[in-house]
Amino acid sequence: MISSVGILITWLAFLNLLVILLINKKDLYQLLVRINLFLHFLLFCILEIALFLDDFSLNYIANYSASSTPPLYKFASLWGSLDGSILLWNLVLSFYFYLYIKIYKKNNELYDIKIFSLIIIFFNGFTIFSSSPFAGCIQLASVGCADFTLLPFQNLVESLSGRGPNPLLQNHPLMAIHPPMLYIGYVGLVLPFVIATSELINKNKNEEWIKIAEKSTYMPWVFLTAGISLGAAWSYEVLGWGGYWAWDPVENVSFIPWLLATAFLHSAKTQIKEFTLLNWNYALSCLMFLSVIFGTFITRSGVLISVHAFSNGNIGTYLIIGLTFFTLLFLIIGIKNIEYFQSSSKVTNFFGRTGFFVANNLLLAGSAIVVFIGTIYPLFYETIYSKQITIGRSFYDILVGPILLLLIYLMIFSTKITKNNLKITSWLEENYFEINLSIILSIIFTFFFRSSFKFAITVLGSILLVVIIGKNILNKAKKTKLQGSYWTGQIAHLGIGIFAIGLIMNVSQSYSSELIISSGDTIQFGNQEFNILNPNEVQKNEKNVINLPIQKNNTTKNASLNIFKNSTQQAISSPAVFRNVESDTYITIKVIDDNNFKLIFRKNYGIFIIWLGLAISSLSFISRLKR
Amino acid sequence: MKKLVPLILLSILIITSIFFFEDTDSRYEKLSKSILCPVCQGETLFDSPSEYADDMRIVLREQIDNGLSDKQIMDYWSSRFGDRINTNPQNENLILIIFPLFLGFIFFILFYRKIKE
């Protein structure tokens, strides 16, 4: 029943989108775009209802939810696997369509409506022709569903219970927030793509397009930053390895659009203020969205191995067709506008705004290229040599590290960016006290954390950045209200400075040790004493949890092993984390052997400072809000 | 005199970083971070909580205690699980480093020529 309703509404939404694409009535599309949003919201609600009703006649629910799944994770199961996440993707896309005509649409042309509806048709079409979360189950597997149909009103079979979500996805509440946040950011990059292509198709060019494109990139940027940060937090809290970023392909493909969007937010300013870099801005505004489709292709087609990858037979081909089509659209419109691009002003002030922004863009685009190469090189290698290869952290350390270092030093000058060239000697004199203070702080830091030369230089840049921008914000906050894009930038840069300090503390000083203990033991780790109490076992519907209480001073925290009933996979270890401003003690159970536990104790420095910096950067949008 | 102060401080910073630098990663940590856990999804031996990785870590510790060189240890694991187990492939695939650097170099030349104009 729910399956048929869902499939019929998907078709209805598809037809509605076709009408938007094909009609030329300017007064009608407003209504149809609202209907489109309504239909997608309805689909979202229907799938949620089906998840809560445990309707196992749906292939998706039989395979990715179970009656024993707790409510929060039932709710989050909607985006727990490929088909459902496409539904969320379409809802977000439809929301942006509505937002676009409501806020950003400034002209009376219909090109933008056509391009936008084409993009949604493409993603909506996937749920019609390839696989849908509403597909009914026609053949049972031993657990869950083995075969499905995309047609309504079929004779469906219903399994008794579902297979349940992937254990990793039902172990922490952040799972309910991180993916939607990330999607709102990721999918939002469709806006600059639509704005740039539709405005440049237009013969009567609207010179405002770059301003609108820049404004529209900002909200996705904020959500992307917050979404990536929450993902890092999730990884730290759930995966039990004490880290937050692994250069995993899926992390990489969320990072590439972030780098490009950050570059675009800067370079758009040069066009708005000085009418330079027209072609570069056009390219960036499109590449952001193309990198999103590419990223989805890489991670959803099963070509790469990753914690996040859900593979599915034909989405790969489907996405590659879309990627080719939208890339051609971007290229053709670009070629048609060569004359327009040539009207761009020459760059003259290489130590002023444009110069700084060009350098910033080269570095950000450079790191995007490095991350891109690191992500796809294993694919090429496997195709050519038929052997697998893994690109790990050290590759990115070698290449992205120095780029980030240069970016930090560039950001120091962001307090004083004007059209005219910066006079370095007068800048040094003005900030004489701050420079000396920062070097002294860096010496203390380097001594305390025993940092290497490269970290000492990085930390000097980061402290300078925090000190100089901090002073700038404090000075001017008294006189003026901190509003406008200048202050957004300053606050975001301050956050990155703080983040970088935390990051260096973390990589230069963290240590760990592996200990075999039994309950009643007292462990000495990093000048602190930990008492191991008696373990207990908790039976829940969906899992058994073995808790090992660990006591430090008067606080007790549980390190636990979660054994999920629906999974043959290994148990998942949840860490006990004793938090502190400068360092965390992070304890995970590795193996239980009779009454002995093999524990890993980690001293992780700077984690709180990393979260603080990321939070400040994500919240930088506050200064943009109008009263 | 005024200009000397930051220069002196800067040299103190450099000297501190050279003389007090302490590498907290033991040889075991370095090696376990560069070997991939073959049954996990993109995690290294160091990071992985799986029992399989735990068994591999025990073997790795024995190898280190027996005084095998880094190369011997990496060769041992590669011969059993294939090259994909090595997470530092750039040492054998220099193109990975050279190609981005080459791109960067070209960008730099273009940028420099624009400044000269």
For residue A122, give the H/E element and its range.
Answer: helix A111-129
DSSP annotation of A422: P
Average pLDDT, stretch A13-29? 91
Nearest CA of chain A to the CA of B75: how many Å?
A: 15
HEC sequence for chain B: CCCHHHHHHHHHHHHHHHHCCCCCCCHHHHHHHHEECCCCCCCECCCCCCHHHHHHHHHHHHHHHCCCCHHHHHHHHHHHHCHHHECCHHHCCCHHHHHHHHHHHHHHHHHHHHHHC
State the pLDDT confidence band at B49, using cuts at 50, 70 and 90. confident
Which phi and psi (to 5°) does residue A350 adopt? Answer: -75, -15
Residue whose pair of structure tokens reads 């469709």 in the numeric block: A190
One-character DSSP codes across A215-272: HHHHHHHHHHHHHHHHHHHHHHHHSSSS-S----HHHHHHHHHHHHHHHHHHHHHHHH
One-character DSSP codes across A464-526: HHHHHHHHHHHHHHHHS---SHHHHHHHHHHHHHHHHHHHHHHHHH-EEEEEEEETT-EEEET
Please determine, for residue A423, whether its predicted confidence score (pLDDT) is greater than 70: yes
State the pLDDT confidence band at A311, using cuts at 50, 70 and 90. low
Structure tokens at A524: 């000495």
Pick from A334, A336, A246, A329: which is nearest to A293 by CA? A329
Of all residues in chain A, what percent carry a pLDDT higher than 90?
Answer: 44
- Partners of B104 on chain A (C-beta within 8 Å) are 366
CB A490 within 8 A of CB A469: yes
Please determine, for residue A489, whether its predicted confidence score (pLDDT) is greater than 60: yes
CB contact under 8 A, B36 and A390: yes
- Partners of B103 on chain A (C-beta within 8 Å) are 366, 369
Please determine, for residue A388, whether its predicted confidence score (pLDDT) is greater than 60: yes
State the pLDDT confidence band at A369, using cuts at 50, 70 and 90. very high
Domain ranges of chain A: 1-166, 511-606
Pick from A238, A240, A226, A236: which is nearest to A607 by CA? A236
State the pLDDT confidence band at A104, using cuts at 50, 70 and 90. confident
Nearest CA of chain B to the CA of A485: how many Å?
A: 27
Compute the mean pLDDT over every residue in chain A, rounded to the nearest whole number. Answer: 88
Average pLDDT, stretch A175-182? 89
Please determine, for residue A303, whether its predicted confidence score (pLDDT) is greater than 70: no
Q: What is the pLDDT of residue A5?
A: 93
How far, in Å, CA of A625 to CA of A16, rounded? 35
- For A35-58, write each residue's pLDDT tens digit: 999 999 999 999 999 999 999 999
The answer, for A578 touching chain B at a CB cutoff of 8 Å, is no
Average pLDDT, stretch A172-196? 91
- For A226-274, write each residue's pLDDT tens digit: 999 999 998 888 777 778 888 888 889 999 999 999 999 999 988 888 8
Please determine, for residue A306, whether its predicted confidence score (pLDDT) is greater than 60: no
Q: Best of B10, B13, B43 to disrupt the A interface by mutation (most A CBs within 10 Å)? A: B13
Of all residues in chain B, what percent carry a pLDDT higher than 70?
Answer: 96
CB A611 within 8 A of CB A495: no
Structure tokens at A407: 């970016």
Please determine, for residue A445, whether its predicted confidence score (pLDDT) is greater than 90: yes
Q: What is the pLDDT of residue B19?
A: 87
Q: What residue type is A612 in one-letter code?
A: L
CB contact under 8 A, A570 and B99: no
Q: Which of residues 361-400 of A touch B (CB under 8 A)?
A: 362, 366, 369-370, 373-374, 377, 381, 387-395, 398-399
A 10 A CB-CB count for A61 gives 31
Interface ipTM: 0.89
How far, in Å, CA of A5 to CA of A43, rounded? 9
The closest CB to that of A305, out of B42, B104, B107, belongs to B42
Q: What is the pLDDT of residue A261?
A: 96
CB contact under 8 A, A390 and B107: no
Nearest CA of chain A to the CA of B48: how many Å?
A: 7
Please determine, for residue A593, whether its predicted confidence score (pLDDT) is greater than 90: no
CB A284 within 8 A of CB A298: no
CB contact under 8 A, A447 and B16: yes
Structure tokens at B100: 């981005």
A 10 A CB-CB count for A185 gives 25
- Partners of A436 on chain B (C-beta within 8 Å) are 5-6, 9
CB contact under 8 A, A399 and B100: yes
More confident residue, A296 or A437: A437
HEC sequence for A9-74: HHHHHHHHHHHHHHCCCCCCHHHHHHHHHHHHHHHHHHHHHHHHCCCCCEHHHHHHCCCCCCHHHH
Q: What is the pLDDT of residue A78?
A: 92
CB contact under 8 A, B90 and A394: yes
Pick from B114, B101, B106, B103: which is nearest to A355 by CA? B114
Structure tokens at A594: 């009779």
Q: What is the pLDDT of residue A8?
A: 95
The answer, for B50 touching chain A at a CB cutoff of 8 Å, is yes
Average pLDDT, stretch A399-421? 88
Q: What is the pLDDT of residue A21?
A: 93
More confident residue, B113 or A64: A64
B85 class by beta-carbon count within 10 Å (0-12 exposed, 13-18 middle, 19+ buried): buried
Nearest CA of chain A to the CA of B65: how many Å?
A: 16
Structure tokens at A214: 């820049």
Please determine, for residue A469, whether its predicted confidence score (pLDDT) is greater than 90: yes
Q: Which of residues 500-559 of A touch B (CB under 8 A)?
A: 508-512
Please determine, for residue A568, whether its predicted confidence score (pLDDT) is greater than 70: no
CB A592 within 8 A of CB A532: no
Pick from A139, A429, A430, A186: which is nearest to A296 by CA? A186
- Partners of A389 on chain B (C-beta within 8 Å) are 83-84, 89, 93
How far, in Å, CA of B98 to CA of A376, rounded? 16
Please determine, for residue A403, whether its predicted confidence score (pLDDT) is greater than 50: yes
Residue whose pair of structure tokens reads 């909506």 in the numeric block: A124
Which residue(s) pair with A583 in the sheet? A605
Q: Which of residues 67-106 of B touch A (CB under 8 A)?
A: 82-90, 93, 96-97, 99-101, 103-104
Q: What is the pLDDT of residue A262?
A: 95
- Partners of B85 on chain A (C-beta within 8 Å) are 390
Please determine, for residue A483, whether its predicted confidence score (pLDDT) is greater than 70: no
Residue whose pair of structure tokens reads 């051609």 in the numeric block: A328
Please determine, for residue A173, whether its predicted confidence score (pLDDT) is greater than 50: yes
Average pLDDT, stretch A312-332? 85
- For B5-43, write each residue's pLDDT tens digit: 889 999 999 998 888 887 777 788 888 888 888 877 777
The closest CB to that of B42, out of A307, A512, A570, belongs to A307
Q: What is the pLDDT of residue A463?
A: 96
**CB pairs < 8 Å spanning A and B:** 145
B23 class by beta-carbon count within 10 Å (0-12 exposed, 13-18 middle, 19+ buried): exposed
Nearest-Å Rg of the Cα atoms of chain B is 22
Q: What is the pLDDT of residue A627?
A: 46
Of all residues in chain B, what percent carry a pLDDT higher than 90?
Answer: 6
Nearest CA of chain A to the CA of B57: how many Å?
A: 11
- For A506-565, write each residue's pLDDT tens digit: 988 888 888 888 888 888 888 888 998 888 888 888 888 888 899 988 889 988 888 887
How far, in Å, CA of B56 to CA of B42, rounded? 16
Nearest CA of chain B to the CA of A13: how many Å?
A: 37
Q: What is the pLDDT of residue A366?
A: 92
